[in-house]
Amino acid sequence: MQLMDGSFVAQQIKEELAHEVLTRKSKGMKIPHLAAVLVGEDGASLTYVSSKVKSCEQIGFGSTLIQLPESVSQSQLIEEIEKLNKNQDIDGYIIQLPLPAHINEKAVLMHVSPDKDVDGFHPECIGKMALGMDTFLPATPAGIIELIKRYQIETAGKNCVVVGRSHIVGMPISLLMQRNAYPGNATVTTLHSKSSNIKEVCAQADILIVAIGKPGYVTADMVKEGAVVIDVGITRVADDAKKSGFRIAGDVDFHSVAHKCSWITPVPGGVGPMTIASLLINTMKSVQLKEK
């Protein structure tokens, strides 16, 4: 078994981007600038956003954190978004999800300009991705693709099983893994809550990608000997042994599964850091697209 070390690869990507920033600076070119909008004070959301902002600072990107109160109205939030759309200095921005219950998430995300949607959630981005056109890929699926590429995992003709059909991970990674490209060209089966024979189908996967948010869901009996296992789960589980009172758990029962795999992503330190790296890649891409 070998680890697909997302922390290591993400660090590598950050160094490459930092180098690119320096080159751009020396040539007097625009420095990429990422903004993040955070509504309310949810602890997990604050942690994620802070980590994104910190990553920008590490590599020399500009970054702006816009914090809005939990009580912000939908129209006020949309106003902020319109400002970001118009702001020439902002190359990309993200709205940290989830939003408070009184705000219609889908309606809000429709206002994000597809040109600055570095999360790749806008229908136009998803549609372009599905049609194999150049666009911002959604950050987590893009991170998985990058990880597969950097570890040179063979995908063509492989049996790839995706567990989960969420709009931000399962659905897009299914499309990316079956597109005519590398990584891609896999035979993809997507499993979800209405699927039967989940165990049997998983056990046939050469590449198993799990994104359902159920800690420890995938056990050794569901994994084929030699499979590549990619764990997208990132759930906070109560843990008295930790100072924070919780630990981060993946969807895969790592300890029982790992020894059967050829490659496996750990949690934390697997797909998570790659998601942030994708955001940074998309932000750099946004600047470069404007220069074309």
Q: How many chain residues bind a second copy (CB under 8 A)? A: 37
289 binds a second copy (CB under 8 A): no
55 binds a second copy (CB under 8 A): no
Residue in 154, 142, 170 with CA at minimum distance from that of residue 9: 142
Token readout for 65 is: 């954190």
φ, ψ for residue 253, nearest 5 deg: -80, 85
30 in active site: no
Residue (67 or 189) nearer to a second copy, CB: 189
CB of 169: closest distance to a second copy in angstroms?
Answer: 13
Q: Pick the catalytic residue: 52, 116, 224, 285?
A: 52
Please give the Cα distance from 93 to 150 (Å, whole number). Answer: 26
Burial environment of residue 30 by CB neighbours within 10 A (0 to 12, 13 to 18, 19 or more): middle
- CA quadruple 230, 11, 45, 49: dihedral positive or negative? negative
Binding region for a second copy (CB under 8 A) out of 142-150, 183-191, 227-235, 272-280: 183-191
Given a contact cutoff of 8 angstroms between Cβ atoms, the answer to whether 33 and 62 are in contact is yes
194 binds a second copy (CB under 8 A): yes
224 binds a second copy (CB under 8 A): no
Q: Pick the catalytic residue: 5, 91, 117, 119?
A: 119
Residue (5 or 206) nearer to a second copy, CB: 206
Binding region for a second copy (CB under 8 A) out of 29-37, 39-47, 155-163, 260-268: 155-163
165 binds a second copy (CB under 8 A): yes
How far is residue 282 from each of residues 142, 250, 289, measured CA to CA in Å?
Answer: 9, 25, 10
Please give the Cα distance from 76 to 13 (Å, whole number). Answer: 36
Please give the Cα distance from 172 to 91 (Å, whole number). Answer: 23
- Residue 2: HSE in the Cβ half-sphere, 13 Å Cα cutoff: 7
Binding region for a second copy (CB under 8 A) out of 94-102, 141-149, 169-177, 237-245: 169-177
Which string of x and - marks every residue 86-115 that binds a second copy (by CB under 8 A)? Answer: --------------------x---------
128 binds a second copy (CB under 8 A): yes
Which string of x and - marks every residue 134-153 that binds a second copy (by CB under 8 A)? Answer: -x------------------
122 binds a second copy (CB under 8 A): yes
Please give the Cα distance from 199 to 65 (Å, whole number). Answer: 43
Question: Which residues form the catalytic set?
Answer: 52, 96, 119
